Amino acid sequence: MRKIQHIPFGLDDPYLDVAYSERRIPTDPTDGENVNVYFKTLPMEAGQRAWLEVLRNDVAYRIRAQYQYNEGEWALWNAVIPSCRAFEKIKYRIGFGKGDCTAIYSEWYSFIVKKWMEDSFIKYDGRNLFIDHESEHDKVPRLIRSRFLTDGKAMYDIELIFKRKQGENFYGLGEHYDSLELSAGSPYYVYVFDQYKVQQKRGYAPIPFVFSDMGFGLFLNTGFRTKVLLSEDTISFTIQTLGTLLTPNNFNAKLWVDTKPYEIISDFYKIVAPELPPIWVFGPWVSANEWNTQEKIEQTLEKLRTLDLPTSVLVIEAWSDEQTFYIFNGAEYKPKKGCDSFKLKDFTFRPPWPDPKAMVDKLHSQGIKVLLWQIPVLKHEDKPSVQHKNDMDFAEKNAYVVSKGNGESYRIPKGRWFEESLVIDFFNVNAAEWWKKKREYLVNELGIDGFKTDGGEHLWGRNTHVCQNKSAAEARNIYPEKYFESAKKMVGRNGVLFSRSGYINSPKFTIFWVGDEDSSFEAMKSNLIAGLNVSLSGNPFWGWDIA
């Protein structure tokens, strides 16, 4: 079978797109740029050719593609659309074969060439920044340049460049592991991202907030990805909408000038308003992914008692059936409809968890709180259990999962954690309630004190959408907040969530740990740096793995 593969936008990811050789570069062309259209064809045969058919300004023509190299059985090609002009709409499709008679074609792709326009469109009222194209307004302090990306009709990205004073140091941006001071050179992206170990500038819980030791501070209250670049004499902020319209309603910012750093931090804490967790959170915690049976938990409890090690919280990660993530592994039960929820009495518990209620009660009697691991996905399985299939079918039928632009259910891309899995749409209040009710028996009847709400970094691509047709371009960073909001309603004020991902409002619902890391002093140092950066950015309640 002959195939053509072209993914114009890749994953729309600043870190991973380099792995997508068959994408368009640039994905969103601007005035004067050449556009490289990379694509792959299968199979590789002697005498084959590939080309683009281009429709530009009502003129159709063909561009021959150049063979690059092979990737396994695939051939990689590139064709260049030259000198794109502002506001042109360009359509193209890919042809492949040994001639017109044997050719196969891709679908049609299109883009509108955008242009950066400089304009004093940012209004400052002494505290806040707004988009205002209509009225005259005073100069924004320290703002050197402002420009926006347009297709001639609407606004997309915006870039704000501020003056950096000599010797001025900048801090903030939530979680990053490289240093406390922001460094020049490569950019930072305020972009919720799952980087397994050696995170450097990448963070699970970034925050679009920066302050300096010379009175400057800026908070961009947006869900869109923000690129932050520091140079010797400037600091720039680019809100990247990935083709989604940016309007005055989805942009606002707060600017501090000539303000002491501790006052800026204090003001930002008032905006974030982190919730004080219960006092038991501040004791020692224990957790291990290998504790996958009740027997191992009880052995751990005995060892803690023997060694006289104080313990406040025990986190059980590998407890569930690894499909529903709300049923204990080994439990026997009669499957229910996808719309229904379970009670504790519905289960007959068997090894490896023969009596979880007795286990939880025993831990509580020793003054130890219990958290269970969670993930906001419906896991892909080749052979799902009856219950898991019922849940997935119900969720898809009722649009309780994240979707693609064509209405199909979105699945996590291959190669990413929980690949091919469905993702719960917590922007849909009915979906959030359904997910919550499935787990309520764990809190209300079993006595679980909270959840390790792992994950949350699962939305890729501008054509991925949550409820009310909001693009993942804007929803990706906000998604963890919606996830935690639903889970927090389940555990209540006296319960706790322990999370890895996060964004601006997450500290209202959860405390944090700073992600997976090696057991080394170098790794611990980077974890402490990340935690301190989080603390400077509105979230004081965090921990890290000691060993």
Catalytic residues: 454, 457, 516
What is the C-alpha separation between 109 and 98, in angstroms, rounded? 23
How many C-beta atoms surround the C-beta of residue 449 within 10 A? Answer: 22
Complete DSSP assignment for 51-101: EEEEEETTEEEEEEPEEEEEETTEEEEEEEE----TT-EEEEEEEEESSGG
Residue 245 has which token pair? 């319209």
DSSP β-bridge partners for residue 128:
254
DSSP states along 497-512: EEES---TTGGGT-EE
CA distance 330 to 321: 7
Largest CA distance in the chain: 82
**Token pair in block for residue 52:** 């683009």
| CA neighbor of 274 nearest in space, from 543, 534, 513, 545 | 534
- Let me know how long the chain is: 547
User: What's 274's DSSP letter?
Assistant: P
C-beta of residue 3 within 8 angstroms of C-beta of residue 22: no
Which tokens in the block code for residue 259? 């303000």
d(CA 88, CA 30): 10
Is the CB of residue 480 less than 8 Å from the CB of residue 503?
yes
The SS3 call for residue 479 is: helix
Contact by Cβ (8 Å): 346, 401: no
**Residue that has been written with the tokens 């998604």 in this structure:** 479
437 CB burial (10 A radius; 0-12, 13-18, 19+): middle
Residue 512: count other Cβ atoms within 10 Å of its Cβ: 25
Rounded distance between C-alpha atoms, residue 360 and residue 441, angstroms: 13
Helix or strand (DSSP H, E) at 5: strand 3-5
